[in-house]
Structure 1
Amino acid sequence: MTTASVTSRDLPHPERGEIRLAGVLHAFSDPLRLQIVQELAADGGELPCSHFDVPVTKSTSTHHFRVLRETGVIRQVYRGTAKMNGLRRDDLDDLFPGLLDCLLVAAAQQTARLADDS
């Protein structure tokens, strides 16, 4: 993890070479985390934690964001008082070509299929 000039507001992130496929797949295995990643991918930029409408407690939400950050799926930085979240698309695409797009397409197809079944 990066340790150069760390302040109390810096959050630990794995370096690109430390990101592992098993961790990324684990991060995607939870529907709430998958939803967060889908929203970040659709936006293409950074979104604050408060943007996400998640039906869980703040502590559970924090846990899900931490899993995404610690597995290398997202990067979190403080901007003022807001914790901003951005998808690490370049890192994921470099390490696992096509994986992110494949998972996002499959998730969208699943969402459509479940909506049709309702």
Structure 2
Amino acid sequence: MTATPHLPLGTHLLADLSGVAPARLVDCSQIEQLLREAAQAAGAQVLHGHFHSFGPGMGVTGVLLLAESHISLHTWPEHGFAAIDIFMCGAAQPQRALDIIIDALQATGCAVQNVRRAPAG
């Protein structure tokens, strides 16, 4: 497969999701599947993923490495909270990925920072 060159321009979304049912924030395999679906919906290519549970009923941390950059997630089920980090360059659409994640987690609150990334100069 030939890699598609990407310009060093992109969108970096930082999202704090609140009001999430704790059961939605503890299963590594479900969270990984969700992030993979979100990446696909955004038009991104997944290169590798790694997810870790901190134990039964505890939070999850995980990352998908993308050809376009990454999606990461950290959860705190005891607070109904998830921190999401989505950075994508090229034609990928990070907002689509975030919308999928918010909908699946059924977050009641969402604070988003949207940062344009580009070389200085």
Which structure: greater strand fraction? 2
Q: TM-score with structure 2 length normalisation?
A: 0.25
Identify which of structures 1 and 2 has the higher relative contact order when contacts are C-alpha pairs closer than 8 Å and 6+ apart: 2
More helix by share: 1
